[in-house]
């Protein structure tokens, strides 16, 4: 019997800026939900990541300003284990969706843009703040925060579809 996927995975390029911030923000938001949603694993990975890198200092500082600690993050690349456990992938940009589909065979049917569920007329891309100012990282964080309520609803629906007995 195969294991039911139970992990939400955020995807960016190097897994040191956007995806770790997004994972920490959703993990924080899910902790206020009822079980089993509050206990889902939330992680992040990069399509071109070098494993073991810390989150960028501005990512750590941008989240520290909203009370979330990202200081223990270690980057990781997409792996088969991550793919096998993923209930859903939430990517930062269209290029991450494309790279994910290129790296995984067969391409995942459970991959989305993080901001695609907010609504019509909203930019669904999250630009890379790498090398930018703390203010750019804060803007990136805020664009992720805007997506969290819609992501929680999507995660609930995906979890219910994968676990109809719960």
The span from the CA of 45 to the CA of 22, in Å, is 11
Among 27, 34, 69, 128, which one carries the catalytic annotation? 128
Q: What angle do CA 13, 56, 43 make, to 5 degrees?
A: 55
Among 17, 18, 27, 141, which one carries the catalytic annotation? 18
Among 12, 17, 91, 140, which one carries the catalytic annotation? 12
Check if 128 is active-site: yes
Is the peptide bond prior to 36 cis by the omega test (within 30 degrees of 0)? yes
CA torsion sign for 79, 83, 84, 86 is positive
Could you give the residue numbers annotated as active site? 12, 18, 128
């Amino acid at each position: 019997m195969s294991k039911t996927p139970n992990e939400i995975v955020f995807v960016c390029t190097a897994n040191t800026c956007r995806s770790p911030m997004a994972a920490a923000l959703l993990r924080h938001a899910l902790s206020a939900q009822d079980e089993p949603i509050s206990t889902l694993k939330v992680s992040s990975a990069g399509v071109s990541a070098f494993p073991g890198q810390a989150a960028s200092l501005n990512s750590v500082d941008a989240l520290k300003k909203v009370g979330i600690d990202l200081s223990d993050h270690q980057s990781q690349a997409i792996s088969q284990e991550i793919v096998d456990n993923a209930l859903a992938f939430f990517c930062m940009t269209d290029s991450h969706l494309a790279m994910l589909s290129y790296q995984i065979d067969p391409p995942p049917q459970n991959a989305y843009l993080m901001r695609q569920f907010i609504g019509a007329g909203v930019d669904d891309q999250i630009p890379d703040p790498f090398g930018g100012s703390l203010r750019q990282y804060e803007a990136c964080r805020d664009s992720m925060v805007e997506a969290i309520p819609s992501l929680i609803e999507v995660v609930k629906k995906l979890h219910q579809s994968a676990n109809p007995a719960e």
